[in-house]
């Protein structure tokens, strides 16, 4: 299999080729529920592996520090125009290497070391780069955090406003990595305007839902939109910054030369393909199906006695508090992995346990939806999760083995995009 799909790699480095082949099998046979993962199309894979890899292209289209950029300029300009059209923004930069560097560019564009910045606390569902202490952003800037309400798991916008007016942060981030509910960008915009803050929407998790019309867009409400290009957007592992024209120069300068050298042109090409795919009607259907599947899965989990943060979901993501099941999140995640169900252990709001051994697991529906699973399959998925968690509590490896075989049987009936395995 490896030799036919990767002949040059297999001939040159058979050991590495065997690792790739094993990963192809793993992705094909398992039920991938990590909400930040997905399957890219064969077209995105091809674009990401082209001879564009061979080019250095410091600068921007028409303003490079290297010659021979005629085709590279066209590739990047195409990606930029597609991003602007898909998200309805005035300016887009497709060069950031990933989401964290993109957020660092925002800080470089609008703040100075020591300035106050504000974001959602990491244990409440935020991201490291939103000013959390263990991140460089929490070391270089004075980070203040908002959270969610006890009991409901929802953002208290009045509390956010009070904090913003008390602290007057230079930058406010909205968005995060474990938020199962719709973000009210208009409410954040009102708060930022009153506090005199630059508002940044980090939509890395929900960019594909926004592009497909399954989540409200921050465009027109925020100063800057930061996003990765993988996750629900189903592109390569890269990032974009989008903004109003008044901020274009500051953003571009912060990305290059502020933080980066030459862009990864092969990734830019993959982003362009993904943006083209996301503009198609089939992607709109996909985005809405992701949400429908997540809602159905949440309902099925609730029926089986699981405690869901905020009681459910509005998007692609479900955060499960396993305290009531008597199983720590890490123990459950590892048992689920042995059962062929790939999740990640995760803190829950007000978690009494440590981050590396928390109370919860985080799951999502982007990958399984890309394979064609629908609402009708979600009760079976919930049942597998329930059986595996119960087995983890009892140490019953036999049940995990049975679940893994059942999962593999279903996955065989729904081939993964980009993985044409025989």
Q: Which residues are catalytic?
A: 56, 58, 202, 228, 231, 237
Q: Where are the beta strands (DSSP E) in 203-256?
A: 224-228, 239-243
- Residue of 351, 371, 257 lying closest to 307 (CA atoms): 351
- Residue of 274, 202, 200 lying closest to 244 (CA atoms): 200
Buried b / exposed e along 371-395 (16+ C-beta atoms within 10 A): bebeeebbbebbbbbbbbbbbbeee
CA dihedral 181, 185, 186, 188 (to 10 degrees): 100
Please give the helix or strand (H or E) that residue 120 lies within, else none.
strand 116-120
Is the separation of the CB atoms in 20 and 2 below 8 Å?
Answer: yes
User: Quick one: 30 exposed, middle or buried, by C-beta within 10 A (0-12, 13-18, 19+)?
Assistant: buried
Q: How far apart are CA 360 and CA 146, in angstroms?
A: 20
Q: Which residue has the tokens 């062929």?
A: 340
Q: How far apart are CA 106 and CA 325, in angstroms?
A: 41
- Residue of 370, 348, 278 lying closest to 35 (CA atoms): 370
Is the separation of the CB atoms in 33 and 343 below 8 Å?
Answer: yes
Is the separation of the CB atoms in 176 and 226 below 8 Å?
Answer: no
Is the separation of the CB atoms in 341 and 34 below 8 Å?
Answer: no
Q: How far apart are CA 315 and CA 297, in angstroms?
A: 12
Q: Where are the beta strands (DSSP E) in 254-412?
A: 307-308, 317-321, 341-342, 344-346, 360-364
- Residue of 227, 161, 177, 158 lying closest to 347 (CA atoms): 177
Residue 318 is encoded by which pair of tokens? 């479900």
Q: Where are the beta strands (DSSP E) in 175-213?
A: 198-202
Q: How far apart are CA 238 and CA 230, in angstroms?
A: 7
């Amino acid at each position: 299999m490896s030799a036919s799909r990767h002949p040059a790699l297999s001939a040159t480095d058979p050991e590495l080729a065997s690792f790739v082949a094993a990963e192809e099998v793993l992705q094909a046979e398992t039920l991938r529920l990590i909400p930040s993962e997905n399957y890219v199309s064969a077209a995105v894979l091809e674009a990401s592996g082209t001879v564009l890899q061979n080019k250095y292209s410091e600068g921007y289209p028409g303003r490079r520090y290297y010659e021979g950029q005629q085709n590279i300029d066209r590739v990047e300009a195409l990606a930029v125009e597609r991003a602007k059209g898909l998200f309805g923004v005035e300016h887009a930069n497709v060069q950031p290497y990933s989401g964290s560097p993109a957020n660092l560019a925002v800080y470089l564009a609008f703040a100075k070391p020591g300035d106050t910045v504000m974001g959602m606390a990491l244990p409440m569902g935020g991201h490291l780069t939103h000013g959390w202490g263990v991140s460089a952003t929490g070391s270089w800037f004075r980070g203040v955090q908002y959270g969610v309400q006890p009991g409901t798991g929802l953002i208290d916008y009045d509390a956010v406003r009070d904090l913003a007016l008390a602290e007057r942060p230079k930058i406010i981030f909205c968005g995060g990595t474990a938020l199962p509910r719709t973000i009210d960008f208009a409410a954040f915009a009102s708060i930022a305007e009153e506090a005199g803050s630059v508002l940044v929407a980090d939509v890395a998790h929900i960019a594909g839902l926004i592009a497909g019309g399954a989540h409200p867009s921050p465009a027109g409400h925020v100063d800057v939109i930061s996003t990765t290009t993988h996750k629900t957007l189903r592109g390569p592992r890269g990032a974009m910054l989008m903004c109003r024209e008044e901020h274009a120069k500051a953003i571009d300068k912060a990305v290059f030369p502020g933080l980066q050298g030459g862009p990864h042109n092969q990734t830019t090409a993959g982003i362009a393909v993904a943006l083209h795919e996301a503009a198609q009607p089939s992607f709109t259907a996909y985005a809405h199906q992701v949400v429908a599947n997540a809602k159905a899965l949440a309902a099925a989990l609730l029926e089986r006695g699981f405690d869901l943060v905020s009681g459910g979901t509005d998007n692609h993501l479900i955060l499960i508090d396993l305290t009531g099941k008597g199983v720590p999140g890490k123990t459950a995640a590892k048992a689920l992995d042995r059962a062929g169900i790939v999740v990640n252990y995760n803190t829950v709001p007000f978690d009494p346990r440590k981050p590396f051994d928390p109370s919860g697991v985080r799951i999502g529906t982007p990958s399984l939806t890309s394979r064609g699973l629908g609402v009708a399959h979600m009760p079976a998925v919930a049942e597998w999760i329930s059986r595996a968690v119960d087995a983890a509590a009892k140490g019953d490896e036999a049940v995990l083995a049975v679940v893994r075989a059942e999962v593999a049987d279903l996955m065989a009936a729904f081939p993964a995009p980009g993985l044409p395995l025989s």
